[in-house]
Amino acid sequence: MVSDLAKNAYHHGDLRAALLAAATDIITESGVDAVTMRGLAERAGVSRTAPYRHFEDKRALLTEVALEGYRRLAATMAAAREKGGDDPVAALACIGQQYVRFAVDNATHYRLMFGDGAVTAGDAPAIKSASKKAAQDMVEAIQAAQARGLLIDTDPKKLANLLWSASHGLANLLISGQLPRSRAAEYARYMTDSVSRGFLPRPDDQSAR
Amino acid sequence: MVSDLAKNAYHHGDLRAALLAAATDIITESGVDAVTMRGLAERAGVSRTAPYRHFEDKRALLTEVALEGYRRLAATMAAAREKGGDDPVAALACIGQQYVRFAVDNATHYRLMFGDGAVTAGDAPAIKSASKKAAQDMVEAIQAAQARGLLIDTDPKKLANLLWSASHGLANLLISGQLPRSRAAEYARYMTDSVSRGFLPRPDDQSAR
DNA sequence: ACCTGAACACCGTTCAAGT
DNA sequence: ACCTGAACACCGTTCAAGT
């Protein structure tokens, strides 16, 4: 009954969580723009002003939702890296491909994270930390490949930023429909291949795998 | 006096142009979100509902502004290609770098063109045509390079989409501040180099230019 | 502590009415 | 043809007041 006590403390007791869940639902269904403070309140069965007891403003609420996305992205990156197995170049390709897949599969959420009104890393320390963590996975995979002589020896951070750019750009074009979503996986594969091998001919290379 | 007649026909006679100019100014100064139909009307010294005589709704007005951006982008691409001179690989690099430069130099406008609420190519045939024209420049540069054996022989459209992805992604990360804007040119250069040469080592290659 | 009702300052857009 | 005033249906947010 102790838990019931907590739950019943004023209406549902966890309005905060209810609001976040509602926002996440709406974002998934109808996009970030469809989220309104008033609508969230109504959905939670509470007055219009009640949400302001739990979040300073709309931005703060959305920042919290975005944070969850960053955490899931970081987890996806970590999993992708492992999936690459022993081969660090394969691990890197996996990371790039899974990044694009995450973005397309969570398009509306991704927009909140990286889109126009984007909750910047500066908005919350937790976001900065989660996003650094995702980036770190990429950098480490690069360093591992370089240590084995499998990648050219340039600044691994810069190289990571380039792979990030290509993945991010591809993801955006797919999400906005400028490239066909149905070909997402194909393009992602092509992207990671190309970033590794480049477009210049390789005279020494018979094994176009 | 004939021109004055035209100008004086109902207040300024070219409210349409005045509204577009005002919208462009506001977008440049304060971003797309700062554009309001009411504000535009006030700035033009006209009633709130007057703009609706010239544009069906806000989206139609913004589509017109975006179109101007697409035209300028296409012109920039064409100029970049020529700047590459005889060397088609250099032309391609120019295109990528100038694309990023355009995006960063016209950040708010670029957001309108490719951002979240983006006016999609489907919104206006003229946008589709201007954007196809820009893409065509890239494809042709690629085909020219392939004809001379300077690029691997894959689908030039796919290759163009990849370069576009990388450019677009880099541009977005720079605009949103996730990569430092001050290093835009450096990153753009690095991006086009990498997309050409790839990250895998090239044993035959002594001339790392 | 947590919630409410009323209110303020905004939006985009419509519509009957004026010249 | 082009413009206006008043109005409708929305926003985010504040603030005094209730329990």
Q: Residue by residue, what is the 3-state secondary structure of chain B? A: CHHHHHHHCCCCCCHHHHHHHHHHHHHHHHCHHHCCHHHHHHHCCCCCCHHHHCCCCHHHHHHHHHHHHHHHHHHHHHHHHHHCCCCHHHHHHHHHHHHHHHHHHCHHHHHHHHCCCCCCHHHCHHHHHHHHHHHHHHHHHHHHHHHCCCCCCCCHHHHHHHHHHHHHHHHHHHHCCCCCHHHHHHHHHHHHHHHHHCCCCCCCCCCCC
Q: Would you give per-residue pLDDT tens digits along chain A (209 residues)?
A: 333 333 334 455 688 999 999 999 999 999 999 999 999 999 998 999 999 999 999 999 999 999 999 999 999 999 998 887 788 889 999 999 999 999 999 999 999 999 877 676 667 888 888 889 999 989 999 999 999 988 888 899 999 999 999 999 999 999 999 999 999 999 999 999 998 887 667 665 544 43
Are residues A93 and A36 part of one domain? no
Answer yes or no: do B172 and A172 touch at CB < 8 A: yes
For residue A207, tell me if it sits in a domain.
Answer: no
Beta carbons of A162 and B196 less than 8 Å apart: no
In this structure, the answer to whether residues A191 and A160 fall within a common structural domain is yes
| Residue A205 forms part of a structural domain | no
Please check whether residues A71 and A39 belong to one and the same domain.
no
CB contact under 8 A, B201 and A152: yes
Domain limits for position A108: 58-199
- Asked if the structure places residue B204 within a domain, the reply is no
Number of domains in chain A: 2
Nearest nucleotide, CA A51 to C1': C3
Residue B200 confidence (pLDDT): 66
Alpha carbon of A155 to those of A152, A158, A162, A182, A191: distances in Å? 9, 5, 11, 34, 20
Quote the mean pLDDT of chain B: 87
* Whole-model pTM over 0.85: yes
Q: How far apart are CA B157 and CA B135, in angstroms?
A: 9
End of a domain among A53, A69, A91? A53
The protein residue nearest nucleotide C12, judged by CA to C1', is: B37
A105 with A140, same domain: the answer is: yes
Clarify whether residues B95 and B145 are in a common domain.
Answer: yes
Same domain, A66 and A31: no
Tell me, yes or no, whether B142 lies in a domain: yes
CATH, residue A155: 1.10.357.10
Q: Do A37 and A111 belong together in one domain?
A: no
Regarding whether B98 and B43 lie in a shared domain, the answer is: no
Q: Are A168 and B167 inside 8 Å of each other by CB?
A: no
Arithmetic mean of pLDDT, B11-27: 87
Same domain, residue pair B10 and B63: no
Q: Which of B53, B71, B89 is the last residue of a domain?
A: B53
Residues B127 and B84 in one domain: yes
Report which of B135, B136, B148 is spatially closest to residue B87, judged by C-alpha positions. B148
Residue B209 belongs to a domain: no
- A40 min Cα distance to partner chain B (Å): 22
Residue B36 CB lies within 7 Å of the nucleic strand D: no
Same domain (yes/no): A104, A139? yes
- Dump pLDDT digits (tens) for B52-63: 999 999 999 999
For residue B8, being part of any structural domain is answered with yes
Q: B200 — phi, psi (to 5°)?
A: -75, 145
Domain match, A83 and A170 both = yes
Question: In this structure, is the CB of residue A194 within 7 Å of any atom belonging to strand C?
Answer: no
| Domain-embedded: residue B207 | no
Contact between the CB of B49 and strand D at under 7 Å = yes
Domain-located, residue B21? yes
Tell if A181 CB is < 7 Å from nucleic strand C: no
96-125 in chain B: CB under 8 A from chain A: 111, 114-118, 120-121
Measuring from the CA of residue B52 to each C1' atom, give the nucleotide at the shortest distance: C13
pLDDT in tens, B148-176: 988 888 899 999 999 999 999 999 999 99
